[in-house]
Structure 1
Amino acid sequence: MEILQQVCSKQLLPCNLSEEDLLQNPYFSKLLLSLSQHVDESGLSLALAKEQAQAWKEVRLHKATWLRFEILQRVIQELLVEYYVKAQDIHLTPEDKKDFVWMRARLQLEVEEQLKKKCFTLLCYHDPSSDADNETLKAAKVWKLSEVLVGEKQQCQDAKNQQKEQMVLLEKMSATYSQVLLRCLTLLQRLLREHRLKTQSELDRINAKYLEIKCSAMILKLRMEELTILSDTYTAKKVEVHRLIRDRLEGAILQQEQDLEKSRQVLNNYEVLGEEFDGLVKEYTKLKQATENKRWALQEFNKAYH
């Protein structure tokens, strides 16, 4: 799995796959591993990459040849421009014209001299400390300057490649850190819910105890208000009068209860007599009614004759 991740990071850069992705897709991982044996780091096939390398080599050779002729042409143009400028500024004598003919004869030496000056200028630009060196030392440094520049160019290219790899690694690490942060956030949410459920029962118990104490305090406060109202309403004199009234009422109630008890005893005695007593009561009632009727008739008779 580590080998496949290295292949993806170097040869298959567009495939930004994590270890989890590779584990979840084993056949796709095998396909990538097999594909990596036929392509290079740029994604080209090995045969095409070889042809491309050969083509670039030929291009560099042609470019070097072209640059060589281009440099010679520019140096010659500079010499000619310098001569024509001199011809415009001053009147050339036959002696100067002889010098020009002589210069054409030693053109190669002049070109070499111009190239040497340009090389020394380039050397001093690249290494300012070389300006104080003698000509022999400068020539030795110029001879190695191309190798130095190639080495520095390779270092720059290596630095760019390393930076590119670091950017890819940074992107992978950012994606990994994002996933880890999401997992941590999910875990924190779950822990928060569990902690809240555990503490909710304790919180409910505390709230219930608080409400119970608050209700008890409210009841005591209401009782105190009730006693305050009673104390303000009933003075000592009123309480004494109410006590006397209560004693009399209690005495009357006791007397009534005693009378009721006596009546119950008499009634019980009558009930002991049974049905004969009921007959006597009915007969007594009839006789009493007849007596009342006769008394009323007698009263009416007396009123009629008096």
Structure 2
Amino acid sequence: MSGCAETRDVLLLGKGDILHQQVLASFPLCDVTEEDLTQNPQFCKLLATLTQYVDKTGLTLSLKTDLDKAEQKLQSQRRQWLRPESLYRGLQEMIQDHSVRKHKSTLPPDQNMFYETMEKCLLVANCVKLLDPSSTTHQDQPSVLGLTSQHVMELMPLEKNVTRMRQGLPRQLEKHLKEKCLSLLSYCQPESENESEGLKTVKLAHLSALLEKDKKRADKLEESCRENTVLLQRQTQLYLSELIRCIRLLQTLMLDHRLRVQTDLDRKKLDYFEGKCELVLQKIKTEMVEIQLETYTVATVTAHRKIREKLESERRACAAEKQGVELKLSSFQMLGEEFVALADEYCRLRREIEMKRWALRELTQFKDQ
């Protein structure tokens, strides 16, 4: 039953793009795009169901109620604190303004006495508060240097001066606050500078409403700025995703184009290198021919031709001599082993004759010396 109820509630929100837009509007701080909701319908259904239990910031309704109550309590405490604090700061501003006026011009003695008394009273009250913080902290603390609030109260001005100051304080404070309100009115409405005091006083009665209106307008502009910021972030994310998709598509097109062009480019490079190689070979042959022409002149070629003819004739003579010796050797080999023994003996005798001739030649040279 609960599942049917959730489905019915989702159907009541809308379908398709309308549902996606409602979910995105209900969760502006969620980093989700419409494409994510389209790809994940169950997640979109979950978010659509959660819109009935949480607000735009992601808080549940009960937690939002508790937060509103805490906010109201905080505002009440803040207002209670702001009343005495604003009064104290107003008195401090009055004292500062008096100090400035006192340095610029001479003021009446009673006015000087009024502000001096007020300044001393504020200083004593502040010191008493610091020495006795039990009213705010609800606990006892050790005294500072052994001082107590009674010791500080002894520094209060004369009673008659304090009484006179208290009697004139509401009038002076009202005058000071009125001047501040008029300056604030001049800031909010510069055209009121030249208006009469009566008209300014009338406008002061509507100053709070004017400030409240400006505050609401500022809050509205801030909310609009926040929504525009969220919208800008979402649009930026969509833009980046589309940009990434376009970049990937461009990379794919570049790769395909490169693969198609690479074959033609390789073939052209091959033709270029073949032509360059052929040119280099022709240049090498040309250089070789030039070297041969520089090395072999007409005279050199004629001399080489004569040397070749002479060598050819000697080769032919040696070949004829070799042929005759081979014929003799073949005829000797036909005589048998007895001729071999005679040939060996003949060779031995020839060697002995040569040795004796050498020895005789040496002896003859030795005798001549």
TMscore range, shorter length: 0.5 to 0.7
Partner of 1:224: 286
Partner of 2:145: none
Counterpart CA distance in 1 for 2:82 and 2:214 is 20
Give the letter aligned to residue 23 of structure 1. Answer: T
The gaps in structure 2 that reach 5 residues or longer are 1-15, 95-109, 118-159, 313-333, 336-369
Q: TM-score, normalised by structure 2?
A: 0.49
**Structure 1 residue 137 displacement after superposition:** 0.8
Check 1:186–1:117 CA distance in 2 against 1; reply closer, same or farther (3 A cut).
closer
Partner of 2:52: 37
**Structure 1 residue 238 displacement after superposition:** 4.5
Counterpart CA distance in 1 for 2:116 and 2:265 is 105
- Percent same amino acid among aligned pairs? 34
Partner of 1:85: 113
Q: In the alignment, is residue 135 of structure 1 matched against residue 150 of structure 2?
A: no
Check 1:62–1:203 CA distance in 2 against 1; reply closer, same or farther (3 A cut).
closer
**Structure 1 residue 49 displacement after superposition:** 3.5
**Structure 1 residue 173 displacement after superposition:** 2.7
Per-residue deviation, residues 115-168 of structure 1 (Å, max 9, x unmatched):
655533432343344233223211221122111111111111122212222222
Partner of 2:273: 211
Checking the alignment, whether the CA contact within 8 Å between 1:22 and 1:29 is kept in structure 2 is yes
CA-based RMSD: 4.7
Q: In the alignment, is residue 28 of structure 1 matched against residue 56 of structure 2?
A: no
Bigger shift: residues 2-11 or 168-177: 2-11
Counterpart CA distance in 1 for 2:221 and 2:174 is 36
Checking the alignment, whether the CA contact within 8 Å between 1:9 and 1:16 is kept in structure 2 is no
Helix, strand or coil at the partner of 2:206: helix
Counterpart CA distance in 1 for 2:210 and 2:115 is 41
Give the letter aligned to residue 212 of structure 1. Answer: E
Partner of 1:300: none
Check 1:10–1:144 CA distance in 2 against 1; reply closer, same or farther (3 A cut).
farther
Give the length in aligned residue pairs. Answer: 235
**Structure 1 residue 5 displacement after superposition:** 4.9
Counterpart CA distance in 2 for 1:62 and 1:20 is 47
Partner of 2:296: 233
Checking the alignment, whether the CA contact within 8 Å between 2:21 and 2:34 is kept in structure 1 is no
Q: TM-score, normalised by structure 1?
A: 0.57
The gaps in structure 1 that reach 5 residues or longer are 90-96, 250-291, 294-306
Checking the alignment, whether the CA contact within 8 Å between 1:16 and 1:172 is kept in structure 2 is yes
Q: In the alignment, is residue 164 of structure 1 matched against residue 226 of structure 2?
A: yes
Check 1:115–1:203 CA distance in 2 against 1; reply closer, same or farther (3 A cut).
closer
Counterpart CA distance in 1 for 2:291 and 2:169 is 134
Counterpart CA distance in 2 for 1:201 and 1:191 is 16
Partner of 1:190: 252
Per-residue deviation, residues 162-181 of structure 1 (Å, max 9, x unmatched):
22222222322332233233
Checking the alignment, whether the CA contact within 8 Å between 1:12 and 1:43 is kept in structure 2 is yes
**Structure 1 residue 207 displacement after superposition:** 1.8
Checking the alignment, whether the CA contact within 8 Å between 1:123 and 1:145 is kept in structure 2 is yes
